[in-house]
């Protein structure tokens, strides 16, 4: 089945949200966070493409989205929903790295498996759901 890059990114986003939920259910909180961060990143890249920008290749799609919006739809910068999308997206953006590599916390190294808790994982997954949902709403509003 042929589909556009935008449709493919949105499907990847939805698949990763589902994976994040399953990982939370099995106690794999680091994996849940990773999949949630990829879901938000994929949706942000879809929106970037819709707005005529180039996909972010450095796991900083939320920052890339802000840059493209400044050029193409600056009115969104004053939109409260968009501001919340960006705020929650920026909170998630770092997790793609934190969920994969050891972190230094209070002077000692911890693995992602030991760092993340159910509460932390749930917060990231919920934020990712918000980001993906808002992006889907914008794209639908724009007829994409």
Q: How many domains does the chain divide into? A: 1
CATH number at residue 105: 1.20.120.330
Which runs of E-coded beta strand occur in 32-127? Answer: 103-105, 108-110
Sequence-ordered list of residues with C-beta below 8 angstroms from that of 105, at least 6 positions apart, any chain: 115
pLDDT level of residue 144 (50, 70, 90 thresholds): confident
Tell which residue, 52, 65, 57, has the closest CA to residue 132: 65
Structural domain boundaries enclosing 51: 5-141
- Mean pLDDT over all residues of the chain? 95
pLDDT at 136: 97
pLDDT at 57: 86
pLDDT tens string 88-136: 999 999 899 899 999 999 999 999 999 999 999 999 999 999 999 999 9
Residue 72 has pLDDT above 90, yes or no: yes
Residue 1 has pLDDT above 70, yes or no: no
pLDDT at 66: 95
pLDDT (mean) for 61-72: 95
Residue 38 has pLDDT above 80, yes or no: yes
pLDDT at 143: 86
Other CB atoms within a 10 A radius of the CB of residue 113 amount to 13
DSSP one-letter code for 101: S
- Give helix then strand counts, H and E, for the chain: 7, 2
Cα separation values, 86 from 39, 44, 83, 117, 130, Å? 14, 10, 5, 24, 10
State pTM to two decimals.
0.93
Contact yes or no for 125/132 (Cβ under 8 A): no
């Amino acid at each position: 089945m042929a589909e556009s890059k935008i449709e493919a990114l949105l499907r990847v986003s939805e698949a990763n949200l589902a994976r994040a939920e399953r990982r939370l259910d099995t106690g794999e909180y680091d994996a849940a966070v990773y999949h949630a961060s990829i879901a938000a990143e994929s949706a942000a890249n879809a929106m970037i493409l819709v707005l005529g920008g180039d996909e972010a290749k450095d796991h900083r799609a939320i920052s890339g989205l802000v840059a493209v919006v400044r050029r193409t739809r600056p009115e969104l910068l004053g939109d409260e929903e968009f501001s919340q999308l960006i705020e929650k997206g920026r909170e998630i953006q770092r997790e793609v790295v934190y969920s994969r590599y050891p972190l230094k916390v209070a002077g000692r190294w911890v693995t992602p498996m030991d760092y993340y808790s159910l509460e932390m994982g749930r917060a990231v997954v919920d934020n990712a759901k918000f980001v993906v949902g808002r992006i889907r709403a914008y794209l639908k509003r724009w007829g994409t």
